[in-house]
Amino acid sequence: MVNYVEKSIRTALQEDLSDRGDVTSLSTVPSRKTGNAHIIAKEGGIIAGVEIVETVLHEVDPELKITANVTDGDRVASQQEVIKIDGSLRSILTGERTALNFLGRLSGIATLTSRFVELTKHTGVRILDTRKTTPGLRLLEKYAVKAGGGYNHRIGLFDMVLIKENHVTAAGGIRQAVENSRRYLKQHDLDLKIEVETRNIDEVRQAVEMGIDRIMLDNMNVDQIATAVALVNKRVELEISGGVNLQNIAEYAETGVDFISIGALTHSAKALDFSLLIL
């Protein structure tokens, strides 16, 4: 994770600096001028990415002193100071936007996740993310989901067998797809869970008979989900996916499923607004 984060940060800084650097700060701010600045939250929410900010600024200038007043997962209020920075003003200004981009993006994901978690906490259901993430930032965005109280689904295509509609069609049916998967896992000595996406009760019945680890109920309405819950009767983990939002999630969660996966946690989260000001 450390190397992944450092690579992401260096890529982001390279986008900003190219081979010329921060020409505005270089041309306007004396090289030896020092001072302090603070990052404040301009709206309330759940913070995520405090250590990322520190890593960004230290990549720009290892001599900068960063003091965090919060930790990831904390709730912050509007106008609250979250981080204080002391040192070269040139360096602070050079790292400002990259640091705030990471902090705002990750805190936005954490904040949205926390809203879904809060609406379902009376049910015990676990809120999951998906692979609908920003290319190159998946691990950071999934980290932000956890900071908001959610859980990670599979990280990528390598750590779980998730048989979806197109796999079923290509394999010739649910049974054939599952049997093919089990054969492959055995041949390659892999101990991975198998999940099957289902679109109707008949497919749920087929999936249950295959004795898999989890069934995804894809874009089903509440009545269909209730029927599936009764049919499965806790023999297999159940996950809802599709059509879930802040307005209806409580109703879905109250059906008795184990998980609800929500792509919007990462693909539609609004960045939390932060500002850096030199004092």
Examine the domain organization and report whether 82 and 138 are in the same domain. no
* Strands 161-163 vs 194-198: parallel, antiparallel or unpaired: parallel
> Rounded CA gap, 193 and 196, in Å?
10
What residues make up the domain containing 75? 2-116+270-278
User: What integer pLDDT is reported at residue 150 of this predicted model?
Assistant: 98
* Lookup: tokens for 222: 């509440």
The reply to whether the predicted model has a pTM over 0.85 is yes
Do 150 and 127 touch, CB atoms closer than 8 A?
yes
> Rounded CA gap, 199 and 265, in Å?
22
202 is catalytic: no
197 is catalytic: yes
Examine the domain organization and report whether 126 and 245 are in the same domain. yes
Catalytic choice (75, 97, 146, 193)? 97
> Rounded CA gap, 200 and 215, in Å?
11
262 pLDDT more than 80: yes
Catalytic choice (115, 146, 164, 175)? 164
Examine the domain organization and report whether 151 and 255 are in the same domain. yes
Examine the domain organization and report whether 109 and 131 are in the same domain. no
Catalytic choice (195, 197, 203, 239)? 197
Count of the separate structural domains present in the chain: 2
Catalytic choice (84, 131, 132, 205)? 132
Phi, psi (5° rounding) for residue 41?
-80, 130
16 is catalytic: no
Instruction: Express each pLDDT in 152-202 by its tens digit.
Output: 999 999 999 999 999 999 999 999 999 999 999 999 999 999 999 999 999
42 is catalytic: no
Examine the domain organization and report whether 153 and 255 are in the same domain. yes
Examine the domain organization and report whether 59 and 131 are in the same domain. no
Q: Residue 195: in which H helix or E strand, if any?
A: strand 194-198
Q: Which amino acid is at 176?
A: Q
User: What integer pLDDT is reported at residue 7 of this predicted model?
Assistant: 93
56 pLDDT more than 80: yes
Examine the domain organization and report whether 177 and 59 are in the same domain. no
121 is catalytic: no
Report the interhelical angle of 50-60 vs 2-17 (nearest 10°): 60
